[in-house]
Copies of this chain bind each other. A is one copy, B any other.
Amino acid sequence: MNFASDTTAPVHPKILSALAKANDGYSASYGEDEWSRAARDALAGVFETDLDVWLVASGTASNALALSVLCPPTGAIACHREAHIERDERGAPEFFTGGGKLALLDGDHGRIDFGALERAVVANNPDFVHETPLHALSLSNLTECGTAYSAEDLRARAALAHAHGLRVHLDGARFANAVASLGASPADLSWRAGVDVLSFGASKNGAIGCEAIVLFGEAREAFAGLKVRAKRAGHMPAKLRFTAAQMCAYLEDGLWLELAGVANKAAAKLAASLEQACGAELAHPLDGNQLFVSLPQPVQQRLSEAGARFYPWLDGSCRFVCSWSTTDEDIHSLAEIARKS
């Protein structure tokens, strides 16, 4: 009954066995290998466009490196007040940008309110030397509250940002879950919606440690600079073929969407089970694999005592995260314990 995070789950066997396949004799270092090329090609296929990509092993590295090519030390990045880059990355964006700022925006359920964004970009004045101007907008899909932006939601916010000279980053640590949930194409939820740089995650969905920083369109001009920053930050390990092999296996035959679909369905089932078991209500709409529910204190305690793992959230709710490996038994056991009051 481990619902603490999708990162506590085991790695999918297909991804693990891809490493053994990649361990085939000598290979060029630092991303010049054939698996790295194959990963890029596979991503280009999935996103239906040419693109550049750099692979790293952690979501924080992926986000911070991505932001560092979008925002100078003297600029700011607009994001949601509860965004992962603000709350959970220990100042990585500030470190990688060389002292850039995050400008926090409000919005329900982890989604940046359109009006709040509008006020921020309209007030933005890059020519006023005293204030730190916005250079980028960072969105997350799924959000930290487990909710999704639709393609239209993204398009509207990205268009607003672009119209005011900002570039757009998408934290897609759970992009697979968003795609599986929304049924829109990866392209529609990224570059066609105006995303310039996407942090495309695999680690929360069955990989060991594999996150792709994907550059689309004009942002591809930043690719050489991105590699330099990756090198300088220690994110250019020699044997990148083993990271690339994970991405190849992740994308092959739609494994990534299959796994995300499993996780999303498990979350929906868990929501229904908890509602039925103890009347638990959703604190945020359920759009993917993260469930936020209000649980009576005695239920929380009983679950904890039974060894269930989940997180008390800042808003008073409890977060349960499902993954590709969540089983019906896990869900059933949890609900049974929740019920016994």
Which has the most chain B C-beta neighbours within 10 Å: A10, A13, A91? Answer: A91
Determine how close the nearest CB of chain B comes to the CB of A202; give it in whole angstroms: 11
Across the interface, A237 reaches (CB within 8 A) one of B13, B58, B228, namely B58
What copy number does this chain have within its complex? 4
Q: Note all chain B residues with C-beta closer than 8 A to A227.
A: 129
Task: State whether B23 touches A8 (Cβ < 8 A).
Answer: no
Q: Is A269 an interface residue (CB 8 A)?
A: no
Contact between chains at B99 and A94 (CB < 8 Å): yes
Q: Which residues of B contact A64 (CB under 8 A)?
A: 234
B-binding segment of A26-34, A105-113, A251-259: A26-34
Interface size class of A (residues with CB under 8 A): 35 or more
Give the residues in chain B near A57, CB-CB below 8 Å: 57, 209, 234, 237
A172 at the interface (CB under 8 A from B): no
B90 touches A5 (CB 8 A): no
Give Cα A25 to B13, complex, Å: 12
For A130, list chain B residues within 8 Å (CB). 87-90, 231
Are the CB atoms of B208 and A56 closer together than 8 Å?
Answer: no
A100's partner among B73, B94, B104 (CB-CB below 8 A) is B94
Report how far A242 CA is from B204 CA in the complex, Å.
14
The reply on A305 being an interface residue by CB < 8 A is no
Report A46-62 CB contacts with B as 1/0, cut-off 8 Å: 00000000001111111
Provide the residues of chain B in CB contact with A99, threshold 8 Å: 91, 94-95, 98-99
Asked if residues A92 and B131 are in contact (CB atoms below 8 Å), the reply is: no
Using Cβ atoms and an 8 Å threshold, which residues of chain B touch A25? 10
Chain B hits for A131, CB < 8 A:
87-88, 90
Query: Cβ of A101 < 8 Å from any Cβ of B?
Result: yes
The answer on a CB contact under 8 Å between B95 and A233 is yes
Interface: A232 (CB within 8 A) = yes
* A319 interfacial by beta-carbon distance below 8 Å: no
**Contact residues of A with B, CB < 8 Å?**
2, 4-5, 7-11, 13, 16, 19-20, 23-30, 56-62, 64-65, 73-74, 76, 87-92, 94-95, 98-102, 104, 127, 129-132, 203-204, 208-209, 224-225, 227-229, 231-239, 242, 309, 325
